[in-house]
Structure 1
Amino acid sequence: MSDGAGIGDVGDGGGGGGGRALAQAAAALLGARAVRWRRLPGGDLSRVVFAELDDGREIVAKTGPAPPTEARMLDALRAAGAPTPRVLAASAAVLALESLPESGAISAAGWRELGEILRRVHETPGPAYGWPEPYAFGDVAIPGNADPALDWPGFWGELRLLSEVDRLPAALARRLERLAADLPNRLPARPLPGLRHGDLWSGNLLIHGGRPVGLVDPACAYGDGEADLAMLTLFGAPGPSFVEGYGPLEPGAAARRPIYQLWPAIVHLRLFGGGYRGLVEGLLDQAGA
């Protein structure tokens, strides 16, 4: 889901009140004061600003559903070998991050490098499926997993496909319930609980010099890495060299892709309205549900 909603005008010691408050709150975590700030382009779920501090540092300040949780997710991705902005400080309301350069489009070599990065991340195991604490996409809760014995079809069915079923149109809810009941026949029972970014789309990739320099705005969980790749292809397609970097997928990946794409499609339907109902219905059709 896209992140980084606008939060005020460019500031130079005045104006853009929302941006100013966010910049100053992040600066205060670092024992400094923001002297300039400007909104960063983005989407709909957080407020993000670039800020220059009075000690010469440049940072990114952002809100979110749980900044300390996001900080732990970024740290986990970084420890797994992914480029991410360094977490400088976090409070219950604000996250202060390293500012990374961003310019231009990703190259063929960059797509290959991204594939290699994601393979490393997806091969970093966790203790159980999911994430140990809940998170959210805006008003849509992302449940944590309190049951380490839960298998992968149970996790994907109960804590993803059916987590918003009471808020969906009845016809969609019934189709999702039928699909969730059949997941033991469609998904591997216990794939490696590998680390996943959880919201992997082009808007959450920072590119500089043709290379990926930052994976941002994560919604991490441990599970089948194919779910990350399904999200990456939901609204676009990586370059052909991505597959060279990532390597071959397990047999049946194409049949599993719409099942994994349903979760972000459901989230878009819940957050942004009925215009995404056709996407959910189309994926259910592809999944034969």
Structure 2
Amino acid sequence: MKQVIQTSLYRLGDHSAIKAIQKISGGDINEAFYVLTHHGEYFVKGNNNVPPHFFKIEALGLDRIAQTDAINVPKVYDYNQPGKGETGFIVLEWIEEEVGNSRSVEQLGTHLANLHQHTADHFGFDQPTFIGELTQENHWRDSWVEYYRDDRMQPQLQLAVEHNTLPLKRRERLEQLLSRLDQLLPHHPSPSLLHGDLWGGNYLVGRKGVPYLIDPSILYGDHAFELAFTELFGGFPPPFYAAYEEVMPLPYGYEDMKPLYQLYYLLVHLNMFGESYGPPVDRILARYTEN
């Protein structure tokens, strides 16, 4: 990995000696490193078992968010599209983390709402993205319900069938729910730019308490979809939601829609980690379908 990092830094114009490479935590699927040279500091992620466009998509997402000037993300310095047997990597700005406070959380809510005010003409995205190691195929759709059903929920249903994580009753209820999503979700909310995978581990607080988003899986969709996921695994602190809603109120009926949006991420976790996520999937399906 050191040679991969050195070659990338040379390409960036940093020909100074590497003073330190320290392995750090960087998520469930990648190796991550803090790199210090005489010229600067870098955060590097690498993986030997990802598709060629894996880190390209991460870089694209970070750049798209950065272009809005709504919320901070690490700068992208370099990435590759590895061939067979090669290591994929991305080189990012090193963010020196600090302990956040209520002001940091408020800023995160405000800045995320500002991000969501950047919109497109259609729903979805023009190329595949990833959540964890799972590919998310994307298309541009005129209807949010169509995108959410056909590009997000149906592929997870099919993957669950392949992984044998859908007992008959669960599958019947999920198919029943998908057949009536058009009665439960808005067809034409504003197509907001979403981070797409926003849980507590995908933001950090840098110097002076400034929040940064990391590891995006971007799409254009209902901003309530993003907020629903932030509430799924423990939620964010209350000041985050209060600050968000000062800029961009949640839609009417949000509490009724929220479990439907959380269901997608629970299916993802069911497909990635197994039956421990089956019971919450079943509870949501029972709420919206007939026995």
Tell me the TM-score normalised to structure 1 length.
0.85
2:173 and 2:289 in contact (8 A); partners too:
no
1:26 and 1:94 in contact (8 A); partners too:
no
Q: Matched residues in 1 for 2:200 and 2:208: separation? A: 13
What is the SS of the residue equivalent to 1:61? strand
Deviates more, 1:237-246 or 1:255-264: 237-246
1:127 and 1:148 in contact (8 A); partners too:
no
Please name the residue that 1:120 is paired with.
Answer: 114
Q: Which amino acid aligns with 2:191?
A: P
Structure 1 residues 42 and 97: alpha-carbon distance in aligned structure 2, compared to 1, 3 A threshold: closer
Q: Matched residues in 1 for 2:10 and 2:36: separation? A: 12
Q: Matched residues in 2 for 1:185 and 1:210: separation? A: 46
Deviates more, 1:221-230 or 1:168-177: 168-177
Please name the residue that 1:94 is paired with.
Answer: 89
Q: Matched residues in 2 for 1:231 and 1:186: separation? A: 18
Please name the residue that 2:85 is paired with.
Answer: none
Deviation at 1:114, TM superposition (A): 1.2
1:157 corresponds to which of 149, 154, 158: 149
What is the SS of the residue equivalent to 2:65? helix
The RMSD of aligned alpha carbons is 2.1
Please name the residue that 2:131 is paired with.
Answer: 137
Runs of 5+ consecutive residues of structure 1 not aligned to the other structure: 1-17
Give per-residue Cα distances to partners, 1:121-168, cap 9 Å, x unaligned: 1110124211211022344221111x443x111111111111121232
Give per-residue Cα distances to partners, 1:209-256, cap 9 Å, x unaligned: 683431000111110011111111110122222222111311100111
2:43 is equivalent to residue 60 of structure 1: yes
What is the SS of the residue equivalent to 1:164? helix
1:30 corresponds to which of 12, 15, 35: 12
Please name the residue that 2:65 is paired with.
Answer: 77
Q: Matched residues in 1 for 2:133 and 2:235: separation? A: 28
1:103 corresponds to which of 95, 98, 102: 98
Runs of 5+ consecutive residues of structure 2 not aligned to the other structure: 82-87, 161-165
2:25 and 2:31 in contact (8 A); partners too:
no
Q: Matched residues in 2 for 1:139 and 1:69: separation? A: 12
1:125 and 1:194 in contact (8 A); partners too:
yes
Structure 1 residues 258 and 25: alpha-carbon distance in aligned structure 2, compared to 1, 3 A threshold: farther
What is the SS of the residue equivalent to 1:113? helix
1:85 and 1:214 in contact (8 A); partners too:
yes
Q: Matched residues in 1 for 2:60 and 2:274: separation? A: 31
Please name the residue that 1:257 is paired with.
Answer: 258
2:46 is equivalent to residue 45 of structure 1: no
Structure 1 residues 282 and 43: alpha-carbon distance in aligned structure 2, compared to 1, 3 A threshold: farther
Aligned residues: 267
Q: Matched residues in 2 for 1:22 and 1:231: separation? A: 35
Please name the residue that 1:229 is paired with.
Answer: 227
Tell me the TM-score normalised to structure 2 length.
0.84
Deviates more, 1:276-285 or 1:182-191: 276-285
Q: Matched residues in 2 for 1:73 and 1:271: separation? A: 22
Alignment identity in percent? 28
2:195 and 2:218 in contact (8 A); partners too:
yes
What is the SS of the residue equivalent to 1:52? strand
1:197 and 1:219 in contact (8 A); partners too:
yes
Deviation at 1:259, TM superposition (A): 0.7
Give per-residue Cα distances to partners, 1:96-120, cap 9 Å, x unaligned: 110011122x322222211111111
